[in-house]
């Protein structure tokens, strides 16, 4: 795990696009406004998404059903280090509890994803073309944009906190219930999301997301907590 230091960060989107001005987005898709400063205590978060091999150890210890796409309940060939997916929110929370951890809050996930680069478009900065350790990879390449599926975790360089795949590969469950206007009433210290709701928040963009805005660390998504998808996995916090 990586330790994320206490302190403030800007939660929400600080960049605007033409589609915002002309009203092309539904109101639900402007749910990352207003950007606001949030203080978080120190916490830790997994450096990578939970892998198939780690999830298999959990199933061996606790029982339960393997993801439906595993042939005969076994990890697909050569995919031990791929992120586990086709797991719902309860599956993810159960694994984290077994590991002595928990799912990150949405605020924790957001700060961790930024890697210390506050108010930037992407985990590596503002530009569509990434620089530094990522070389000259384009946004979609550096975030594992693909039409074929997830890939082994940690294939691209980490962000400033040493975290891998915070954009692309698979979306990641958070602990929070979803409320589209939550950012306007969010506590300014250690927000934990609404007390109840219908949907759970997941973050990070997936391998099949063609819209680069989905890969921004501020972008919010949500679905039924019982949803199992080939594009949603998770990592744990503590």
Q: Where are the domains of the chain?
A: 2-233
Calpha distance 218→229 (Å, rounded):
21
Average pLDDT over residues 78-98: 98
Going by the DSSP 8-state scheme, the letter that residue 142 receives in this structure is H
Whether pLDDT at 137 is above 50: no
Average pLDDT over residues 86-113: 98
9-23, 89-103, 125-139 — most confident range: 89-103
Burial of 129 (0-12, 13-18, 19+ CB in 10 A): middle
pLDDT of residue 24: 63
What three-state secondary structure class fits 167?
coil
The CA–CA distances, whole Å, from 185 to 112, 179, 189 equal 22, 10, 12
Average pLDDT over residues 201-220: 89
Dihedral sign for Cα 61, 102, 106, 195, please. positive
Average pLDDT over residues 193-212: 92
Least confident of 31-45, 53-67, 208-222: 208-222
pLDDT of residue 77: 96
Least confident of 44-48, 126-130, 136-140, 183-187: 136-140
Contact 140, 131 (CB under 8 A): no
Closest of 207, 210, 191 to residue 109, by C-alpha: 191
Class for the domain spanning 2-233: alpha beta
Q: Name, in order, each residue with C-beta under 8 angstroms of 185's C-beta and a sequence gap of 6 or more.
A: none
């Amino acid at each position: 795990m990586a330790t994320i230091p206490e302190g403030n960060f800007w939660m929400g989107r600080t960049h605007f696009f033409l589609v915002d001005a002309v009203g092309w987005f539904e109101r639900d898709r402007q749910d990352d406004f207003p950007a606001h400063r949030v203080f978080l205590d120190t916490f830790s978060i997994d450096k990578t998404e939970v892998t198939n091999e780690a999830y298999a150890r959990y199933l061996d210890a606790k029982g339960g059903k393997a993801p439906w796409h595993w042939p005969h309940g076994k990890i697909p060939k050569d995919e031990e280090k791929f992120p586990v997916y086709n797991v719902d929110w309860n599956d993810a929370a159960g694994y984290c509890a077994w590991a002595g951890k928990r799912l990150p809050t949405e605020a924790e996930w957001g700060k961790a994803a930024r890697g210390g680069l506050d108010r930037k478009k992407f985990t590596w900065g503002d530009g569509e073309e990434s620089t530094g350790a990522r070389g000259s990879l384009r946004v979609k390449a550096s975030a594992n944009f693909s039409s074929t599926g997830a890939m082994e975790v940690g294939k691209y360089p980490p962000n400033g906190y040493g975290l891998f795949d915070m954009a692309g590969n698979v979306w990641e469950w958070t602990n929070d219930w979803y409320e589209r206007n939550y950012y306007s009433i969010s506590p300014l210290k250690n927000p934990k999301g609404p007390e109840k709701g219908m949907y759970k928040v997941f973050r990070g963009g997936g391998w099949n997301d063609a819209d680069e805005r989905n890969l921004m660390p501020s972008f919010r998504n949500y679905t039924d907590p019982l949803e199992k998808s080939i594009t949603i996995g998770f990592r744990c916090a503590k």
